[in-house]
Amino acid sequence: MKKYYIKDIVNFKKIGKKFCSITAYDYMSAKLISDADFPLILVGDSASMVMYGYCDTTPITMEEMLLVLKAVIRADSGSVVVADMPFMSYQASLEEAIKNAGKFIKCGANAVKVEGASLDTCNKIKHFVSSGIPVVGHIGLMPQSINVTSGYSVQGKSRSRAKQIIRDALSLHKSGAFCVVLEGIPSQLAKLITEKISIPTIGIGSGPHCDGQIQVFHDVLGLDKSFLPKHSKRFFNGYDSFLSALHQYEDDVAQGSFPSSENYTDIDNSILEDISEDY
């Protein structure tokens, strides 16, 4: 298993190597991703929906994020593990933000991710970095702000919003973020930003020109049959495959072909006779 460091992610941009990253929320999937040799795992706040069944990313708490992060860390993967700061874990005050980010690092995360690039957020990013906490920025479509943006729409289509997103990317770079997620922005804007900043851009729904891509584990493996976001692609028909395996299990039990002799252990006959006589 190859061990990846933040410097490797930064270096990918310098050598022009496109890289792949994905979310993980538990031990087994983190092991799988590590075996696939992905350099970066995001313990995303999308755990809110795919692990806890909330309707969006705003309800998930620090405690709930810490639970999934700890499971991912136990996989001891070679990937850089980035923990997503959940909604309201870094907005209220600098002190709270640093304490919460520190909790993730203490659990074994290598970096944290925050949404936005306001003056206040950039100030916090500077403090994180000077406290020894590497940061991934996240701009464009920011799921924690869906109540402000009234949903999940592509950001940066107008001249003024596009300019603002470029300024945001530059501010994140200046504040010390080591890379930046560009979510849901037009591909040409993502290209422009990718060319303008020397830290890697990681795209989701922002086209092919970013330095890396990120996707949600459950989307890529097709685990949700009812919904697939436009930015994603099912690389496996997970829902149907798992469902058919569960039906096969059910059928085998009903027909008596499972469990079979290799799935259980017999006791010695003389012992069986003894105990049968006793009762």
Binding site for ligand KIV (CB under 6 A): 23, 42, 44-46, 84, 181, 183, 204, 214, 216
Q: Residue 28 or residue 275: which is nearer to ligand KIV going by CB?
A: 28
Which residues are tagged catalytic?
A: 183
Smallest distance from the beta carbon of 69 to ligand KIV, in angstroms? 12
| DSSP assigned state of 21 | E
> From the CB of residue 26, how many other CB atoms can be counted at a distance below 10 Å?
18
Burial class (CB in 10 A: 0-12, 13-18, 19+), 114: buried
DSSP symbols for 144-192: GGHHHHTS------SHHHHHHHHHHHHHHHHHT-SEEEEES--HHHHHH
Q: Which two tokens stand for residue 114?
A: 């925050």
Q: Residue 133 or residue 202: which is nearer to ligand KIV going by CB?
A: 202
Q: Residue 232 or residue 237: which is nearer to ligand KIV going by CB?
A: 232
Question: Using CA atoms, how far apart are residues 102 and 124, in angstroms rounded to an integer?
Answer: 13
Smallest distance from the beta carbon of 99 to ligand KIV, in angstroms? 21
Which among 227, 254, 257, 223 is positioned nearest to 240, based on CA atoms?
223
Question: Using CA atoms, how far apart are residues 99 and 201, in angstroms rounded to an integer?
Answer: 27
Q: Residue 159 or residue 230: which is nearer to ligand KIV going by CB?
A: 230
* Beta-sheet pairing, 80-84 with 40-43: parallel
Smallest distance from the beta carbon of 21 to ligand KIV, in angstroms? 8
